[in-house]
Structure 1
């Protein structure tokens, strides 16, 4: 992987009753780590992480930036220190053993299993030169969460994708929103972005349960209330429908993830939405704040 490069594998899930949610991201070249930025992004493999966040009663956030000694890779498995993501048959199995960030310092340990209804063959360049790529592996999936915490055993609908890049996000983008919503026997994803060169990206894809993908006409953009940190937000919705956040998830000065209800082709649906303000992320003063939530652990030794 080149300097400034990154790869991340992303999973999210919402419980069937809507009370809980989870997200997991495996990073090589941890794009939101201040330590990777301060290093000059010369060695992506020296800044790796499996970020786990749980949302709901007793929710925790974990994101430890680890050194190269913590990384093990194979075709089917990514291991970062005490946690791993591995492909096993028709499902992605994630074993986590992390420590929550301040102020809720406690262990987050257990297993998350994601079973896509099918795998897609979609690969979408986010920039004309292909320096950033979105790969939605399993946009329609079932998820089972089994953590060693009371109440954190549940099932729901999930999602699995990846992003790959050869440059820092803030080198090419100023802002983006993304959303994935269960819809019409599968799921619909929206990717909207503004690039620094003034061009934009507006992509809408519907995935059926068999992994087939079809580019569709996007519903109109609809603004939402700003996040707690005043990050601008918008998603897609039928004309006249006002989408709204129904569950807060992650709220940061430059980023917001939440469960959102919208309406697509007359069908109300609840999915996961994110808004990312990379103009804010470029601010030097933000990095020391992030370092409090993203500790650095450079050394790791596997037992075997």
Structure 2
């Protein structure tokens, strides 16, 4: 595994961040999930208001379950909640651990806005593991590792009572400054298909430049760079956030919206990409909107802050 990309103990500089992102869709198409573990939480208003001086004091595990038993948890925690070494990261009562063959996420969280338990186990078994890191900006201050772009996820939740499995994905990001310092907008999609997965990554930088990555991953971890088709503008979110998505001759459709926020959307798509039928998870992030102080004032309603290892 790439040492820095998967090392939970790697340093995080003041003003910087690390996160690990896992998503999956169930085989039957009824369920989905996203898990993101943050050190120096990039979307934390508390981190911003504190001057982003101490990333270790702004930690959280975001767990989002989609489908008939949807739950959302994103409790921020401070210094006392962090335990980590190279293979394990604990944030309060929840943890991620890598044993060399699989990533296991033990979830013990409280949902918002209705306080209900979110607890259980999520396990990702990679079919493909990669060792390549990509710089997203010209100065190399923002880096992305597609650690396990092809894998199987097994979900065993106790609350809500939920069990399913399906194709999944894992990556990691690290940076040395706030996202909104370097970027204005980005869109990203992980599209699963019979051969493996294709990732489309488009970012508009504040220096006026753009980055566009089209990467095809097979089940052996091999990476081919591919030419992406033009973007199709899907219906924007209710807050007006754009949803540009890559699809062959516009053959990409919005199946459902998972998240719709003033600066962010997460969606399920289907269609054709690079000549293949795909089921995709898509994200749009408007960092001009996120930089607005009024938007940050809204975030504590979905991201409460707690201290210590308490479950509440």
TM tier, smaller: over 0.9
Deviations 1:17-61 (A, max 9, x none): 111100000000000111111111000000001110101112011
Deviation at 1:151, TM superposition (A): 5.3
Indicate yes or no: 2:223 matched with 1:219.
Answer: no
Identify the residue that residue 290 of structure 2 maps to in structure 1: 281
1:288 and 1:150 map into 2 onto residues whose CA distance is 30
> For the residues of structure 2 that align with 1:151 and 1:97, how far apart are their CA atoms?
14
In structure 2, the residue matched to 1:68 is: 79
Check the 8 A contact 1:69/1:301 in 2, yes or no.
Answer: no
Deviation at 1:101, TM superposition (A): 1.1
Relative to the length of structure 1, the TM-score reads: 0.96
In 2 relative to 1, CA 90–280 (structure 1 residues): closer, same or farther, beyond 3 Å?
A: same
Whether the 8 Å CA contact 1:14–1:20 is kept in 2: the answer is yes
Please give the secondary structure, in 1, of the residue aligned with 2:61. strand
After the TM superposition, which parts of structure 1 deviate over 6 Å for at least 4 consecutive aligned residues? Answer: none
Q: Distance in 2 between matches of 1:247 and 1:112?
A: 23
Which of 42, 45, 56 in structure 2 is aligned with 1:34? Answer: 45
Q: Is the 8 A contact 1:188 1:205 kept in 2?
A: yes
| Alpha-carbon distance, 1:118 to partner | 2.1
Structure 1 distance, partners of 2:161, 2:304, is 27
Output the CA distance in 1 between the equivalents of 2:257 and 2:237. 9
Using the TM superposition, name which of 179-188 and 127-136 deviates more: 179-188
* Distance across 1 between alignment mates of 2:160 and 2:36: 23
The match for 1:299 is 308
Partner of 2:275: 266
Displacement of 1:264: 1.7
- Shift of the 150–61 alpha-carbon distance from structure 1 to 2, 3 Å rule, reads closer
Aligned length: 300
Residue 4 of structure 2 corresponds to none
Corresponding residue for residue 6 of structure 2: none
Matches within 5 A, 1:10-159: 10-102=21-113, 104-149=114-159, 152-159=162-169
CA contact (8 A) 2:228 2:274 kept: no
For residues 91 and 200 of structure 1, do their structure 2 counterparts lie closer, same or farther at Cα, with a shift above 3 Å needed? Answer: same
TM-score between the two structures when normalised by the length of structure 2 = 0.93
Alpha-carbon distance in structure 2 between the residues aligned to 1:180 and 1:299: 35
Residues 60, 75 of structure 2: 8 Å contact kept: yes
Residue 197 of structure 2 corresponds to which residue in structure 1? 187
In the aligned structure 2, how far is the partner of 1:271 from the partner of 1:151? 25
For 1:223 and 1:265, how far apart are their aligned partners in 2? 17
Secondary structure of 1:171's match? Answer: helix
* Partner Cα distance (1:14, 1:151) in 2: 17
Unmatched tracts of structure 1, length 5 or more: none
Contact map agreement 2:117 2:160 (CA 8 A) in 1? no
Whether the aligned pair in 2 keeps the contact of 1:236 and 1:262 (CA below 8 Å) is no
